[in-house]
Amino acid sequence: MSSMLSSALRNLPVSSAWAAGALARSLSCSSQFQAAVQPKTKKTLGKTGVKNVVVVEGVRIPFLQSGTTYADLMPHDLARAALQGLLTRTSVPRDVVDYIVYGTVIQEVKTSNVAREAALGAGFSDKTPAHTVTMACISSNQAMTTGVGMIAAGQCDVVVAGGVELMSDVPIRHSRKMRKTMLTLNRAKTLGQKLSLISKIRPDYFAPELPAVAEFSTSETMGHSADRLAAAFGVSRQEQDEYALRSHTLAKKAQDEGLLQDVVPFKVPGKDTVTKDNGIRPSSMEQMGKLKPAFVKPYGTVTAANSSFLTDGASAILIMSEEKALAMGYKPKAYLRDFVYVSQDPKDQLLLGPTYATPKVLERAGLSLSDIDVFEFHEAFAGQILANLKAMDSDWFAQNYMGRKSKVGAPSLDKFNTWGGSLSLGHPFGATGCRLVITAAHRLKKEGGQYGLVAACAAGGQGHAMIVELYPQ
């Protein structure tokens, strides 16, 4: 059935050679990777009167499919491991850290300020305040930019930002009726009152309440929205499968070549040390083609194989004012430059954040798309990425929906997520943003670029983009 339908949708001109082409090109570049190429000389993006903020280092624990090795841990355990990894990697004196911000999406109710619990357990000073932010899939982007703001405003010099998500365990609640009864029970004084309350409990009170997988405002699941988005932009099943295959293939290659330097090992209590992401699985078009649509049944195009999977993971990044970093003898990796947050219709444009954010951040930085050497976009769904690329390349869309005169253009796939992305590396909601930034920094150094552009979509119809500039070598 699905093959029959995808063939019906296959009337679109986008080349199926994308993945293959990009693959070949990145292979041919690999020899250049041996020696870091000197960056092209472009202007730097520093602004007078604004403090330069730099990334000193960023790490993450391996991203694992939920229900695997991290299954029995709690979110703060993962965040703790990432923070400890950062401390080990940088040897930053713990009392130097002025502030800690963490992003997370699905909160463990016991550790609602997971930043604080993780920091205390990771050996940071108990004098370092910490707070937790949430902004769906751009939560750790928000954590980083919160830190950037604090440093730029002169409130802090050293901030640790990060993100964590543990999809192996999510809070499942009693039903509202049951909760109400239980809370009233607390206040009941006499045995009679208690018994009368208990006698009112009915079987349906025991039905559990799962955390919402759907967008609250529209009641639509993200996968369903992604399928509609792909259809709206005429992205075929085959294109999506090809893009997903590309992501896995590139991630595998990056992993094999040891390019994923941000990964720090994590000794899980009672289990072996985890050293690698475990969701990278290059498959074949045939295998992927066999899958049934996961959301729009039976004729949709988004499947388990061309979507990002439920992931456990955590990341942490050390950001400082440039003077402070230099004074402490660090060699920063990159500047964090202009950034924007955007939001749009959560129903029909839920996942188009990058399309809206990219031209805006380029404008703020005074750059054009061709100035960007490295693109790191969050891959929620292959269909979402491809729809964004088509939207960015459409004058019609720019004029009718973005109020712009013309399109910003689609990034070249040669520069796009060449070390894999969320589809293959995994996507712990709250932690992905830091991975994008540090990967952009590492790729700039490796590939000899100067500017990286990080962009992501998020539930609620929001989006984010940031310019990362390589620190002069």
Q: Identify the burial level of 91 via C-beta atoms within 10 angstroms of its C-beta, where 0-12 means exposed, 13-18 middle and 19 or more buried.
A: exposed
Q: Minimal distance in Å, beta carbon 216 to other proteins?
A: 7
Type of residue at 54: V
Q: Minimal distance in Å, beta carbon 393 to other proteins?
A: 9
The residue count for the chain = 473
Residue 389's nearest CA partner among 407, 368, 366 is 407
Asked about 137 being catalytic, the answer comes back as yes
C-alpha atoms less than 13 angstroms from C-alpha of 229 in its C-beta half-sphere = 33
Q: Output the DSSP codes for 353-381.
A: HHHHHHHHHHHHHT--GGG--EEEE--SB
DSSP 456: E
- Token pair recorded at residue 295: 């959301």
Nearer to other proteins, 21 or 234 (CB): 234
In the complex, which residues of this chain contact other proteins (CB under 8 A)? 1, 4-5, 8-9, 216-219, 224, 228-229, 231-234, 296, 299, 345, 347-349, 387, 390-391, 394, 396-397, 400-401
| Candidates 29, 137, 156, 434; catalytic one | 137
Q: Minimal distance in Å, beta carbon 136 to other proteins?
A: 17
CB neighbour list of residue 209: distance below 8 Å, 6 or more residues apart: 172, 173, 174, 175, 176
- Token pair recorded at residue 48: 């007078």
- Token pair recorded at residue 321: 């004012």
Asked about 156 being catalytic, the answer comes back as no
Q: Which residue has the tokens 């195009």?
A: 301
Q: Which residue has the tokens 């391996």?
A: 62
- Radius of gyration of the CA atoms of the chain, in A: 23
Q: Minimal distance in Å, beta carbon 394 to other proteins?
A: 5
Q: Minimal distance in Å, beta carbon 5 to other proteins?
A: 4
Q: How far apart are CA 21 and CA 413, in angstroms?
A: 9
DSSP 319: E
Question: Long-range contact list for 146-152, CB < 8 A, 24+ apart?
Answer: 146/101, 147/53, 147/99, 147/101, 147/319, 148/53, 148/319, 148/336, 148/339, 150/98, 150/99, 151/51, 151/53, 151/319, 151/320, 151/321, 152/50, 152/51, 152/53
Q: How far apart are CA 250 and CA 264, in angstroms?
A: 20
Q: Minimal distance in Å, beta carbon 18 to other proteins?
A: 18
Nearer to other proteins, 333 or 390 (CB): 390
Type of residue at 211: P
Q: Minimal distance in Å, beta carbon 11 to other proteins?
A: 8
- Token pair recorded at residue 142: 């928000």
In our burial notation (b when 16+ CB lie closer than 10 A, e otherwise), range 252-264 reads bbbbeeebbbbbb
In our burial notation (b when 16+ CB lie closer than 10 A, e otherwise), range 135-154 reads bbbbbbbbbbbbbbebbbee
Q: Minimal distance in Å, beta carbon 3 to other proteins?
A: 9
Enumerate the active-site residues: 137, 457
